[in-house]
Structure 1
Amino acid sequence: MRIAPLCHSPQHLDALARTHVQAFGELLPAWTVQQARDELATHTAPDAIPTTWLALDGADWLGSVSLLDEDDPRLGAYTPWLASLYVRPAARARRVGAALVWHCVAAAAALGVARLHLYCEPARVTYYARLGWTRLDHLPLGALQVVVMAIEPGSPHV
């Protein structure tokens, strides 16, 4: 497995947009595949925010993660974000998600990000806590309750 910027593998753009809408559309019910594709298409620089990376196995993609300034306008108090972590079902339980998280955290550190955020459903808190993330807030986001978590990418503990 290798991790590479989406902008270096544009052949996966359409599939990733469809997958993101299927996986995360509950948070944004009006979000379309075209909107997701248009947003992902703006991630053109691998060493800047916003960007998206893919975990690749040969020509196939296993998962993705994004680094964004804003993940949801309703969460404007926090920035920047690790967002849209997704691992395809066949690749789960192979540490693909953890590798993507660590890649994103390292990229944020290289960009000088002091604190990186994510939000997740309460059932996922333990997963991220094992990776070094701490809980900051618990709040409603649309129909869901989410937990905002943070990590300090440049910290020697990371």
Structure 2
Amino acid sequence: MIPALAVLATTSTGLLVGVELSVAVVVNPILRALPIGAMIDGRAHGARMLGRTMPPWYIGSTTLIAGFSIAAWGTLQAVLALAAAGLLLATVLLSVLVLVPINNRSSTWTAASHPTDWRVQQQRWDRLHGVRVVLLLAALSLVVIAAVAA
């Protein structure tokens, strides 16, 4: 059971990190290179799409890591997985308290209708998303180490 949970937790978290990292280093830089109207429309669409898909993914990954930790309780694997779950929970708190409110606002913006401080809000989101990606990478590293620890 422990090896299966380790593989599932690692895979789910790895894919989650990959999506969030690609948003930071690929998608948003591409969108920033577009004309302003297209960028706003593109980010609004991304906010709506990822706003629907990411919450269940975060919950699922956190649950898998917690299950891995419980199944391996009393071992180094459990300690590492528990630390990874803690980091994932920190990203959830960061998301819910700061990133989601910005995301929810930006999901309604259009090229023709957006606030005057839209750029400041998107820059703040980008910076905090970078922090989230770093935390996620650390969590993934801990899950991988836990998965191979014996």
TM-score, length-scaled by structure 2: 0.28
Higher normalized helix content (fraction of residues): 2
Higher normalized strand content (fraction of residues): 1
TM-score, length-scaled by structure 1: 0.27
